[in-house]
Amino acid sequence: MEFLVASAIGVGFGMLTVLTIVLIEHVGPLERYSMRDRVPGLLMNAVGTFLSIFMMYPIARFRESLGEGPMFAIPLWQWLEPLGWLGYGLQFLLLIVIADFLAYWRHRAEHRILWRIHAVHHSPRELHAANDIGHPLQAFFSLVFIGIPLSIIQVDGPTVPFAVGMFVSMLSFYIHSPIELHFGPLRKVIVDNRFHRIHHSLEERHFNKNFGICLSLWDHLFGTAYEPGDEWPKVGLADIPAPRTISDYLAIPFRRSREDSRPAPQQAELS
């Protein structure tokens, strides 16, 4: 029963977040899409939120199996607690930096060795907050690349992780939004919608660029950054029709033949 309640709250909160960004998209849009166009993405987001909550249980059990010894835990909050409220702020920022670093390398792995599943995220030709989606199987990648590593970091209760999760979710929805608002010079540090749209571009010069979700810092450090300027390229995949229904999204990894399971040319690693 507790799991069902937590799932309902999580899905409801997630949908509220998406709908908030959708409303913002109608204030200063560069492209307009109907609510009907957004329905499949909204449903996929609901599934993804449910799976993320479901994954909390194996993560918690994994953490318990490691014990409480210093060998298996990073006592972040114990180090920061003497700083009071400043410690909470630093805890929030450090968790974002660590989680985003892990997400950057998960994203790189999804393109290099897990493309067949990740292609679902790149398949829409309409990029907006509701299409910040992925195949449900991606939840397992997040568990391995992000959830388990973060589980060894000791924090002060659930408040800060919840705040970090909400911040990351809001930013992730925004960077897929077709709105005029962007971060300008701050794009050197924080990802905005223009920076991330390059990652979804159909243009060859943009392939395998801008993997960061929250921080563009990693792209600059590891040589995958592309500064967009005023570019607003078309998005999607040349070899996959744009999905229009939930079944379309779910079937993409299984409809592609063995020969087509490698990354499409527009997303393949460039030498």
Residue 138 has a CB neighbour count (10 Å cut-off) of: 19
Q: Is the dihedral angle over the CA atoms 2, 4, 9, 14 positive or is it negative?
A: positive
User: What is the rounded distance in angstroms from the CA atom of residue 47 to the CA atom of residue 51?
Assistant: 6
With CA atoms as reference, report the closest residue to 228 among 187, 170, 174: 187
Structure tokens at 58: 């194996």
Report yes or no on whether pTM surpasses 0.85.
no
Q: What is the pLDDT of residue 246?
A: 87
**Can you give the residue ranges of every domain in the chain?**
2-185+243-261
Q: How far is CA 205 from the centre of its chain?
A: 23
Is residue 106 a contact partner of residue 138, using CB atoms and an 8 Å limit? no
Angle between helices 35-54 and 246-255 (to 10 degrees): 60
Residue 64 has a CB neighbour count (10 Å cut-off) of: 10
Q: What is the pLDDT of residue 26?
A: 75
Kindly state the greatest CA–CA separation across the chain.
Answer: 57
Is residue 136 a contact partner of residue 208, using CB atoms and an 8 Å limit? no
Contacts of 236 (CB under 8 A, 6+ apart): 122, 123, 124, 125, 200, 202, 242
- pLDDT tens per residue across span 179-229: 988 999 999 999 999 999 999 999 999 999 999 999 999 999 999 999 998
User: What is the rounded distance in angstroms from the CA atom of residue 246 to the CA atom of residue 125?
Assistant: 15
Mean pLDDT on 22-45: 82
- pLDDT tens per residue across span 237-263: 998 888 888 889 989 998 754 434 444
- pLDDT tens per residue across span 48-101: 777 777 766 666 666 666 555 444 567 776 777 777 778 788 888 999 999 999
